[in-house]
Amino acid sequence: MHAAIRTQEMNPAKLTSLFRKQFELCKVSPGQTVAIVSDLGTRREYIQAAFAAADEMGFDIYEMCVNMIPGWTKVGVPTIGKCKGTLDALMKCDMIMIFHVPLFAKWLREVQQAGVRVQMINSCNRRPASRRLWSMPARSMTRRATSASPRPMARI
């Protein structure tokens, strides 16, 4: 039980501005749609902050939560597409923000081929508290992510 309790890593009041900065770097604008792909371990305050930033910036956003906790040791796991309509919904978005490791997944290749921008968000403990949340497009994601942002890895 103790291992499942996570301490707060940063001031949650700063999260919305961090997500806003990230969306600005990715050139997300009003009229576009962003889908968040989260998992059972994603911190709720991250999702709420992304929603608040989207509301401030005037674009649409929704969350799709997968029923597992993918990780670095389980790559290629088909988290999307097993449920009817999930892949179709993601292929119609302008950008997908993923809060787990989707590397080598078939669905990821399909959405990228459809022209959807993809960005992976990871909570990293190697940075000071004010800079722990950062995005890292995987090498296979860099082509799509860099076409919409000024740098391949935008650290916030």
SS3 content of the chain, % helix, strand, coil (to 5): 35, 15, 45
Cross-strand partners of 35 = 62, 96
Q: Domain ranges in the chain? A: 11-148
What local confidence, expressed as pLDDT, does residue 127 receive? 41
Cross-strand partners of 36 = 63, 97
Q: Is this structure's pTM higher than 0.75? A: no
In this structure, which amino acid lies at residue 128?
P
Q: Which CATH architecture has domain 11-148?
A: 3-Layer(aba) Sandwich (3.40)
Does residue 27 have a pLDDT over 70?
yes
Looking up tokens 């499942």, which residue turns up? 4
29, 43, 125 from 9: Cα distances, Å: 29, 11, 8
**Tens digits of residue pLDDT in 33-68:** 999 999 888 889 999 999 999 999 999 999 999 887
Does residue 124 have a pLDDT over 80?
no
Share of the chain above pLDDT 70, in %: 65
Does residue 13 have a pLDDT over 90?
no
Sheet containing 60-65, strands listed edge to edge, beginning at the edge strand earlier in sequence: 60-65, 33-38, 95-98, 117-123, 133-135
